[in-house]
Structure 1
């Protein structure tokens, strides 16, 4: 049955994206880690450098201790890496190649949902 409304496309995308999340590529993220991942990806997409200090300034991510715990968890899960900068005290947060492949898969889900129209 063809999709006819924009909401149908979005709901189809969610269905396809959920299937991608079920694939054994990277361990799943909790909602706060998902939010952090999106911030890192958006910074990456706009060619901005994003440091741990920059992320601490984003209040909705919680306390510095909580943020550090989440970043550590995301590093251990293989989603992000912390790169050295010219200032040894500052670390830049970047996506791993595996995280980029995850976004590629989600992009394919979006294209497939649109093509189902």
Structure 2
């Protein structure tokens, strides 16, 4: 392995480690739009915000509401997301599954590992 010489090398090492996660048997892979949706749901969770199916479908940057809805359904079937009830039975809250949280834990480990490798070389 080459030694990191620039801060960008840490990020590139992280990408390499994260890519290796894709080969592990866990959740089925996501397409690029599903990855964007997953990131939005994760950020909402981190900020302790609420995100309903309707909220997600209203995000124009994700495309047509029908497309977003089909991706949410796909992500539920793949095990990345789950829907929970709210006070209004017609609205469903989007939540990460335990498997998705574990995936983020693994990504975090990759980031820490990439940074630690850089610290050892510096």
The unaligned stretches of length 5 or more in structure 2 are none
Separation of aligned partners in 1, 2:10 and 2:106: 17
What does 1:33-112 correspond to in 2, within 5 Å? 33-112=34-113
Deviations along 1:19-59, one digit per CA (max 9) or x if unpaired, are 01221100000000000000000000010010011111210
Alignment match, 2:9? 8
Cα deviation for residue 60 of structure 1 reads 1.2
Separation of aligned partners in 2, 1:9 and 1:106: 14
Alignment match, 2:30? 29
TM-score calculated relative to the size of structure 2: 0.93
Deviations along 1:57-110, one digit per CA (max 9) or x if unpaired, are 210111111111100000000000011100011000000000000000000000
TM-score calculated relative to the size of structure 1: 0.97
The unaligned stretches of length 5 or more in structure 1 are none
Number of aligned residues: 117
Larger radius of gyration: 2
